[in-house]
A = this chain, B = another copy of it.
């Protein structure tokens, strides 16, 4: 049994972020998703597997089609991680100033 996929790793790939973007507009089948990319269907299939493994996408089998839908809740972890540092970048306390103050 594989260790549960990491959502940070899942969104590291630009193709997978683009897939999320597509699914935000509407649920799509795997094939219609694949039409948007310049790569083979198995490649998209693999990306989709990674996305489902970390909970970012839910796939439901309907006949011979797989209907794919994004589960944006899984992005909360990412948003929260990044946002915890927002006060740092929105304040005056960013990296350069830290360093400059330090060397004063």
Q: Mark A56-82, 1 if CB is under 8 A from B, else 0.
A: 011010100001011111011011011
Given the known A-B contacts A60-B103, A79-B79, A103-B62, are A88 and B72 also in contact in the complex, defined by CB atoms under 8 Å?
yes
Interchain residue pairs with CB less than 8 A apart (8): A8-B11, A8-B14, A17-B81, A20-B85, A72-B94, A75-B86, A75-B89, A79-B86
Among B72, B73, B75, B98, which residue has its beta carbon within 8 angstroms of that of A27?
B98
B82 touches A79 (CB 8 A): yes
> Copy number of this protein in the oligomer?
2
Number of interface residues of A (CB under 8 A): 38
B contact residues around A24 at 8 Å (CB): 85, 88
A8 to B96, CA, bound (A): 22
Name the residue in A12, A14, A17 with the highest tally of chain B Cβ atoms < 10 Å from its Cβ: A12
Q: Mark A82-102, 1 if CB is under 8 A from B, else 0.
A: 110110110000111011001
